[in-house]
């Protein structure tokens, strides 16, 4: 059961809104430019968006994570995506693993928006299979030498640092590590950016690496990178779910308003049973998904494991919101398909979620793995049923 919203959480949400007011009224130019301005991160930080999110800790701060995702997503979905990567992956990794004065100083810079982080895992030859990474970190007497290439890195243009997943030279394919890479370091080159279907204000780029790094570049223990990344992704997935549900709620609210006011033969479009039932089902599906998000968040706050739960949640929320935004676009008819209305933008934006943060297929396999575990209760029940499965006279 979810907990009631506290005064502290309401105050945090107000701080996020104040930051967005300070940023400005209209972010549409960001999508045209294809990049976020770096100054939005210090502005968010000045209002405590990052520092206050992390003040209670990773799991206790989940209600603030959700509030941040909802408020930023309503303002601009690309900003929500970039802020999620900076907060939940980059800052999250530093909060968990930072050791020594250099890494602690970088954490302070990230919390204050002076440093902006992005995450690099995917490479040109592959996607979700981190065990196949080719980016290699070779130990040197004075640190490391990192060689490789990272593709589809979100917010690369506004970032100052890359959190890169790499294989340690001479180790097994799953012996990965996390490295903090300044993007202005010698041998680090941003190769360019990709045009994308949605979330256009948050650029997506490719970076090549052939750079020496000091010993302080290694974050955490070598060989633990896969475990670290898996934990960080749990919080990223919660944020994605909150962002998606925000898009779904906005789409539904606008579609319902349109259906109430659009007149067909002297009657509101909402009088058409096919339309109102379509929107009623959308409302029901969003409500159930939102309740599941609250319950998963409450589980995290309570200190319970939620890795499988949030994987399942992301699968369901992605499917739900993709369908809802499609239905709402349909209600608008031809208007919904034009860029004069935001439906087509939300429709494009939500599609990425079935790929990023763990593709549908990866999460499905993760959840399917549980089906192979023996369950004493139901195994025993099946034995009884099978034994009694005989013909009757």
CATH of the domain at 337: 1.20.140.10
Domain boundary among 223, 244, 271: 223
DSSP helix/strand/coil, 6: coil
Residue 93 sits in the same domain as residue 13: yes
pLDDT at 374: 95
Residue 203 sits in the same domain as residue 311: no
Whether 153 maps to a domain, the answer reads yes
Whether 391 maps to a domain, the answer reads no
pLDDT at 5: 75
Which residue, among 178, 173, 185, has the nearest Cα to 209 in the 3D structure? 185
Residue 207 sits in the same domain as residue 264: no
Residue 85 sits in the same domain as residue 137: no
- Find out whether 318 and 353 touch, Cβ atoms under 8 Å: yes
Task: Provide the β-strand partners of residue 176.
Answer: 167
* C-alpha–C-alpha distance, residues 221 and 218, integer Å: 8
**Cα–Cα distances in angstroms (integers) from residue 278 to residues 89, 100, 247, 266, in the given order:** 37, 56, 17, 21
Whether 54 maps to a domain, the answer reads yes
Quick one: CA torsion of 359, 227, 302, 249, rounded to 10 degrees? -20
Per-position pLDDT tens, the chain of length 393? 445 678 989 999 999 999 999 998 778 899 999 999 999 999 999 999 999 999 999 999 999 999 999 999 999 999 999 999 999 999 999 999 999 999 999 999 999 999 999 999 999 987 666 777 999 999 999 999 999 999 999 999 999 999 999 999 988 777 899 999 999 999 999 999 999 999 999 999 999 999 999 999 999 999 999 999 999 999 999 999 999 999 999 999 999 999 999 999 999 999 999 999 999 999 999 999 999 999 999 999 999 989 999 999 999 999 999 999 999 999 999 999 999 999 999 999 999 999 999 999 999 999 999 999 999 999 999 999 999 999 988
Residue 272 sits in the same domain as residue 320: yes
Which residue, among 268, 244, 272, 242, has the nearest Cα to 257 in the 3D structure? 268
- Find out whether 336 and 330 touch, Cβ atoms under 8 Å: yes
- Find out whether 35 and 201 touch, Cβ atoms under 8 Å: yes
* C-alpha–C-alpha distance, residues 146 and 137, integer Å: 4
Whether 265 maps to a domain, the answer reads yes
- Find out whether 286 and 249 touch, Cβ atoms under 8 Å: yes
Domain boundary among 223, 251, 275: 223
Phi, psi of 313 (to 5 degrees): -60, -45
pLDDT at 1: 41
Residue 63 sits in the same domain as residue 199: no
Q: Within 10 Å of residue 353's Cβ, how many Cβ atoms? A: 26
Residue 107 sits in the same domain as residue 121: no
User: What total number of domains does the chain contain?
Assistant: 3
- Find out whether 199 and 349 touch, Cβ atoms under 8 Å: yes
pLDDT at 38: 94
Which residue, among 180, 299, 203, 293, has the nearest Cα to 242 in the 3D structure? 293
Give 188-196's long-range contacts (Cβ < 8 A, gap of 24+): 188/162, 190/156, 190/157, 191/149, 193/34, 193/35, 193/156, 193/157, 194/152, 195/34, 196/352
Domain hosting residue 216, numbered range: 117-223
Specify the CATH number for the domain of residue 171: 2.40.110.10
* C-alpha–C-alpha distance, residues 243 and 83, integer Å: 11
Residue 18 sits in the same domain as residue 86: yes
Residue 275 sits in the same domain as residue 159: no
Whether 181 maps to a domain, the answer reads yes
* C-alpha–C-alpha distance, residues 40 and 22, integer Å: 9
Specify the CATH number for the domain of residue 81: 1.10.540
* C-alpha–C-alpha distance, residues 348 and 310, integer Å: 23
Whether 332 maps to a domain, the answer reads yes
Residue 14 sits in the same domain as residue 94: yes
Whether 179 maps to a domain, the answer reads yes
Residue 131 sits in the same domain as residue 98: no
Which residue, among 57, 40, 127, has the nearest Cα to 92 in the 3D structure? 57
Strand boundaries in the chain, DSSP class E: 117-120, 136-140, 143-154, 161-168, 176-182, 188-193, 204-213, 218-219, 263-264, 267-268
Whether 253 maps to a domain, the answer reads yes
Domain boundary among 82, 111, 140: 111
Residue 233 sits in the same domain as residue 338: yes
Write out the two tokens for 332: 């608008």
């Amino acid at each position: 059961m979810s907990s009631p919203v506290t005064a502290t959480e309401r105050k945090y949400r107000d701080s996020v809104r104040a930051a967005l007011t300070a940023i400005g009224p209209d972010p549409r130019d960001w999508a045209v430019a294809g990049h976020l301005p770096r100054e939005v991160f210090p502005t968010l930080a000045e209002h405590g968006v990052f520092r206050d999110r992390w003040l209670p800790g990773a799991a206790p701060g989940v209600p603030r994570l959700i509030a941040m995702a909802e408020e930023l997503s309503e303002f601009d979905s690309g900003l929500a995506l970039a802020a999620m990567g900076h907060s939940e992956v980059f800052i999250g990794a530093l909060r968990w693993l930072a050791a020594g004065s250099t890494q602690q100083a970088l954490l302070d810079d990230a919390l204050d928006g002076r440093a902006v982080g992005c995450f690099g895992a995917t490479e040109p030859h592959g996607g979700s299979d981190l065990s196949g990474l080719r980016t290699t970190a070779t130990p040197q007497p004075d640190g490391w030498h990192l060689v490789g290439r990272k593709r589809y890195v979100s917010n690369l243009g506004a970032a100052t640092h890359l959190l890169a997943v790499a294989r340690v030279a001479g180790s097994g394919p799953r012996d990965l590590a996390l490295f903090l890479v300044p993007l202005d370091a010698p041998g680090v080159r941003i190769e360019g950016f990709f045009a994308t279907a949605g979330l256009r204000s948050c650029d997506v780029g490719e970076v090549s690496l052939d750079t020496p790094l000091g010993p302080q570049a290694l974050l955490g223990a070598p060989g633990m990178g896969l475990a670290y990344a898996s934990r960080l992704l749990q919080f990223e997935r919660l944020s994605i779910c909150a962002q998606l549900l925000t898009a779904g709620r906005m789409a539904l609210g606008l579609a319902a308003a349109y259906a109430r006011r659009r007149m067909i033969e002297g009657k509101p479009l909402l009088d058409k049973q096919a339309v109102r039932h379509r929107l009623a089902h959308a409302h029901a599906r969003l409500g159930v998904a939102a309740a599941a998000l609250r319950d998963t968040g409450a589980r995290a706050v309570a200190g319970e494991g939620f890795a499988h739960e949030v994987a399942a949640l992301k699968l369901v929320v992605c499917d739900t919101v993709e369908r809802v935004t499609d239905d709402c676009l349909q209600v608008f008819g031809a208007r919904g398909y034009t860029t004069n209305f935001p439906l087509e933008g939300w429709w494009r934006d939500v599609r990425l979620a079935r790929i990023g943060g763990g593709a549908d297929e990866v999460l499905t396999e993760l959840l399917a793995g549980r089906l192979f575990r023996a369950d004493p209760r139901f195994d025993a029940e099946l034995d009884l049923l099978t034994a009694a499965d005989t013909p009757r006279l």
